[in-house]
Amino acid sequence: MRHWVLITGCSTGIGRALVPLSRAAGWGVVATARQPATLAGLPAGEDLRILSLDVTDVASIEAAARACADLPLRALVNNAGYGQVGPLELLRPEELRAQFETNVIGLHSMTNAFLPLLRREPGARILQVASMLGRLSIPLAGPYNASKHAVVALAETLRLEIGREVAVVLVEPGAIQTEFRETLTRAWGDLPERARGTRYEGILEKYKTIRKDRSERHALDAETCARKILAALVAERPPRRVVIGKDAFLAGKLKALLPAAWWEAILRRAYGLR
Ligand SMILES: NC(=O)c1ccc[n+]([C@@H]2O[C@H](COP(=O)([O-])OP(=O)(O)OC[C@H]3O[C@@H](n4cnc5c(N)ncnc54)[C@H](OP(=O)(O)O)[C@@H]3O)[C@@H](O)[C@H]2O)c1
């Protein structure tokens, strides 16, 4: 009997890339998205189940758990997420709340809703998609940094609590080419207007250019990232952490090695915060 995995946020990006790779590895996939129509292009098969799922909607999560009750679900990949950016001074509480609703509370609700199903399968595992920004913070991405630090803390705690029963894997990618950056500029709404006339006006413009340039020049493609996640998904003994990309690896090391004042100076300079 094949193993099954449920993946959140499969409409685009990393989640989408992981669906065919998992199927090719012999796993059944419950591919989920807020708009299931976005998954219509996936080839049908006995190894694919498509579900509508919004991780901020409790009823939708419960319905998804009921729809998986008959499956030998061995893994959950909590991938859904987005980036809320903007200087903290200009950030509205509702923007911070919304960021946590999806990236943190959504991931936690999914985990708890699916734990009873996962526990039925020997060797079950939960993969929590954090980010390199779960271990370090960059300027102008405060809400996102905070949400991913929270994901790291939740995963480390969960591992201590249930890790001997269900493996908990932290996925920590650096920059990946996905829809993420487009979503990020959508999520900042009227931020450019709020920034007008403040010291952040020019800084935000520069930020957009920096992010675009870095993602075009240095970001890994989504499939390469998904392959690394797949390796943890199917591993006999899943790793505790999957750090993806040279940027994630090097930035983590640099932060640990450099004096804090140097590290901060590098980041301020890189983001035009003189
Ligand atoms: N790209 C990067 O550089 C990078 C780096 C480190 C970590 N990550 C993390 O990787 C994960 C996947 O992001 P990605 O890069 O693949 O970006 P993406 O292409 O924008 O994909 C994000 C996915 O999350 C879904 N999503 C957002 N809010 C949701 C909600 N409330 N309920 C269900 N699904 C929701 C989106 O669905 P819709 O289409 O409905 O919006 C989309 O399918 C995220 O957790 C992100 O933080 C990305």
Instruction: Look over the chain and give the mean of its residue pLDDT values, rounded to a whole number.
Output: 95
Residue 212 domain-assigned (yes or no): no
Question: Tell me, what CATH number does 158's domain have?
Answer: 3.40.50.720
Q: Which atom of ligand 1 is nearest to 144's Cα? A: 47
Ligand 1 probe mutation, 6, 99, 179, most atoms within 8 A of CB: 179
183 three-state secondary structure? helix
Residue 263 domain-assigned (yes or no): no
Residue 83 has pLDDT above 80, yes or no: yes
46 three-state secondary structure? coil
Q: Name residues contacting ligand 1 (CB within 6 A).
A: 8-15, 33-35, 53-56, 79-82, 102, 106, 129, 131, 173, 175-176, 178-180, 183
pLDDT in tens, 122-162: 999 999 999 999 999 999 999 999 999 999 999 999 999 99
Q: How many Å separate Cα 225 from the centre of its chain? A: 12
Residue 249 domain-assigned (yes or no): yes
Residues designated catalytic: 144
Burial (0-12, 13-18, 19+ Cβ within 10 Å), 233:
buried
Cα(79) to centroid(ligand 1), Å: 6
Output the DSSP codes for 115-182.
HHHHTTSTT-EEEEE--GGGTS--TTBHHHHHHHHHHHHHHHHHHHHHTTTSEEEEEEE--EESSHHH
Q: Which atom of ligand 1 is nearest to 130's Cα? A: 7
What's the maximum distance between 2 C-alpha atoms anywhere in the chain?
62
Cα(82) to centroid(ligand 1), Å: 5
Residue 213 has pLDDT above 80, yes or no: no
**Rounded to two decimals, what is the model's pTM?**
0.97
The 10 Å Cβ neighbour count of residue 183 is: 16
Residue 201 domain-assigned (yes or no): no
pLDDT of 13: 97
Residue 181 domain-assigned (yes or no): yes
Domain carrying residue 74: 4-189+221-253
Range with the lowest mean pLDDT among 6-10, 120-124, 171-175, 192-196? 192-196
Q: Which atom of ligand 1 is nearest to 11's Cα? A: 43
Cα(192) to centroid(ligand 1), Å: 23
Residue 97 domain-assigned (yes or no): yes
Burial (0-12, 13-18, 19+ Cβ within 10 Å), 146:
buried
Residue 103 has pLDDT above 90, yes or no: yes
Number of structural domains, the chain?
A: 1
Residue 102 has pLDDT above 90, yes or no: yes
Residue 181 has pLDDT above 90, yes or no: no
Residue 212 has pLDDT above 80, yes or no: no
pLDDT of 274: 77
Residue 180 domain-assigned (yes or no): yes
Residue 164 domain-assigned (yes or no): yes
Ligand 1 probe mutation, 144, 145, 172, 178, most atoms within 8 A of CB: 178
Cα(9) to centroid(ligand 1), Å: 6
Q: Which atom of ligand 1 is nearest to 175's Cα? A: 3
Tokens found for residue 92? 């509205």
pLDDT in tens, 234-271: 999 999 999 999 999 999 999 999 999 999 999 999 88
Q: Of all protein residues, whose CA lies closest to atom 32 belonging to ligand 1?
A: 54
Cα(248) to centroid(ligand 1), Å: 18
Rounded Cα gap, residues 215 and 221, in angstroms = 10
pLDDT of 185: 80
More confident: 45 or 214: 45
